[in-house]
């Protein structure tokens, strides 16, 4: 997160850190007791390894009550996701067991009504992604408020040049922005997850490259289907 600030500890108890060998790779969030939603492109550099999911954390390194690392039983990328574009950039992770819910570990509801969030709506994005252009990584969860911008503005030739589909949304990225390692985290508007951070042009803090999020509502049926099928 560029230009943000340290989050209030455990006020975002749905936040997950997707880790490999104890290293934070991407964000995610708890959508059900045994399920975390994140971004498919986070598996790009994992060489087939399976993530572990850290829940209940504020600091990535310090011992904290209710902080716990969960094994992942299954990682399910959306079938339409691919490395060439940001389409269908969602990843569902089934935890080995149900997460123990408490003050520090809670589910975040996601938007199920497929209607665009109005431009200028101020939403919040949080994560343990880089906090400087030099790539400095934070120990504690960061957050930043960002206004939604219209798809038409985001699709202008000098911005994302008509690549933003109706299943994506954008926020202004002037100075304050999501960045590397924030992928997979939720864009929260009015207490509901409306989008999932995607890397987009892999540029941060440049107003000519607004932040891109995968809208969740268009994928509600896919999410429900995967969870129902795995429940058996
Ligand atoms: C395997 C993955 C971690 C590779 C990856 O995602 N790289 C990467 C590099 C630079 C910026 C970003 C990035 C992420 C989220 C939002 C934004 C821009 N708002 C950029 C992402």
Q: What is the pLDDT of residues 185-200, one digit of tens each?
A: 999 999 999 999 999 9
Confidence of residue 231 (pLDDT cuts 50, 70, 90): confident
Query: Of 161, 159, 223, which Cα lies nearest the Cα of 196?
Result: 223
Q: Which residue, by CA, sits nearest to atom 2 of ligand 1? A: 42
Residue of the nearest CA to atom 5 in ligand 1? 180
Pocket of ligand 1 (CB under 6 A): 25-26, 41-42, 44-45, 173, 177-180, 182-183, 197, 199-200, 202, 204, 211
41 in catalytic set? yes
pTM for the structure as a whole = 0.98
Under the banding of pLDDT at 50, 70 and 90, the label for residue 232 is low
**Strand 168-171, strand 122-127: pairing:** unpaired
The string of pLDDT tens digits covering residues 78-124 is: 999 999 999 999 999 999 999 999 999 999 999 999 999 999 999 99
- Complex ipTM: 0.94
Q: Reply yes or no on whether 59 is catalytic.
A: no
182 is catalytic: no
Residue 177 pLDDT greater than 90, yes or no:
yes
Q: Are 4 and 176 spatial neighbours (Cβ–Cβ below 8 Å)? A: yes
Q: Which of 10, 24, 41, 160 is catalytic?
A: 41
């Amino acid at each position: 997160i560029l230009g943000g600030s340290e989050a209030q500890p455990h006020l975002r108890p749905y936040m997950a850190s997707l880790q490999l060998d104890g290293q934070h790779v991407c964000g995610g969030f708890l959508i059900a007791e045994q399920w975390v939603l994140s971004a498919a492109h986070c598996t790009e550099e994992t060489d087939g390894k399976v993530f572990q999911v850290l829940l209940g954390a504020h600091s990535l390194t310090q011992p904290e009550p209710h902080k716990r690392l969960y094994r992942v039983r299954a990682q399910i990328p959306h079938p339409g996701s691919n490395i060439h574009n940001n389409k269908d950039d969602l990843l569902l992770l089934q935890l080995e067991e149900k997460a123990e819910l408490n003050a520090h570990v809670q589910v975040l509801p996601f938007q199920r009504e497929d209607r665009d969030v109005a431009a200028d709506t101020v939403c919040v994005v949080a994560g343990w992604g880089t906090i400087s252009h030099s790539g400095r990584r934070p120990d504690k969860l960061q957050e930043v408020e960002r206004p939604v911008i219209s798809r038409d503005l985001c699709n202008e030739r000098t911005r994302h040049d008509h690549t933003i589909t109706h299943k994506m949304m954008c926020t202004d990225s002037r100075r304050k922005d999501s960045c590397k390692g924030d992928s997979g985290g939720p864009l929260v508007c009015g207490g509901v997850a409306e989008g999932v951070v995607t890397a987009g042009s892999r540029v941060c803090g440049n107003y000519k490259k607004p932040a891109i999020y995968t809208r969740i509502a268009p994928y509600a049926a896919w999410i429900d289907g995967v969870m129902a099928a795995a429940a058996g």
